[in-house]
Amino acid sequence: MTDAARNSFGPSALATPANALTVARLLATPVFIAVIVERGASWWTVALGVLVAGTDGVDGWIARRQGATRSGAFLDPLADKAVVLSALFLLSYDGVLPWTPVCLIGLREVLMSLYRSWSGRRGVSVPARPSAKVKTLVQDLAIATCLVPPLAHQHDLQLAAVWLAAAFTVVTGLQYLLDARRATPTPEVP
């Protein structure tokens, strides 16, 4: 495949296959949450969760081949946050997970979304770091410990997984903060 064919979309494109998958992930989030409410820990819930989470890697793969876009750099992390936070808050509400690590995760994710939005208004795209992709995977695995039937009653495993996810979440938030500080020019002292 030639470079021209590989990068068929420019940075300002909106209607791309990768963005379509990302929007599908956003739209599937309420369905996933409804299945968690209706079925709890079940293989149907796991299958839908894997499908929804799996589109994250697929849309990234497509974007790298057809051209990353500013809209995709904003929408992809937003879709990740919608899926993860909805599931984590529901699991905390149901008493499966403790609120403290879930609130830490939620606070970082909201602050990161605000930062991306603020940066975007200034024409700066803040793409996901590789470590943030690992963070999302760890969050997904923490959710899985609550939804995979053989693990659903392993409370110690669930606690360890959600606290590990919270730690990854805080660390990657600090990485973005350091990146922003490095990118901000320091004023010259007269």
In tens, the pLDDT along 97-122 reads 999 999 999 999 999 888 877 877 87
More confident residue, 120 or 160: 160
The answer, yes or no, to whether residue 25 has pLDDT greater than 60, is yes
Q: Residue 188 domain-assigned?
A: no
**Per-state percent for the chain, helix, strand, coil, to nearest 5:** 80, 0, 20
- As for how many domains the chain has, the answer is 1
What the block records as the tokens of 100 is 């403290």
- Of 87, 99, 110, the closest CA to residue 41 belongs to 87
pLDDT for 10 equals 60
Q: What is the span of the domain harbouring residue 34?
A: 13-182
Q: State the chain's mean pLDDT as an integer.
A: 85
Q: Provide mean pLDDT across the span 126-138.
A: 84
Classify residue 8: in a domain, yes or no.
no
Residue 61 in any domain: the answer is: yes
User: Residue 2 falls within a domain, yes or no?
Assistant: no
pTM: 0.83
Please give the sequence-ordered ranges of beta strands (E in DSSP) within 70-159, or none if there are none. none
- Look at residue 7 and tell me if it is in a domain: no
Residue predicted with more confidence, 80 or 46 = 46
The per-residue pLDDT for 188 is 61
Decide if 1 is inside a domain.
no
Evaluate whether residue 159 is within a structural domain.
yes
**At CA 96, angle to CA 143 and CA 28, rounded to 5?**
40
48-77 confidence digits (pLDDT tens): 999 998 888 887 788 778 877 767 777 887
pLDDT of residue 108: 94
The whole-angstrom separation of Cα 15 and Cα 170 is 33
- CATH number, domain of 134, equals 1.20.120.1760
119 in any annotated domain: yes
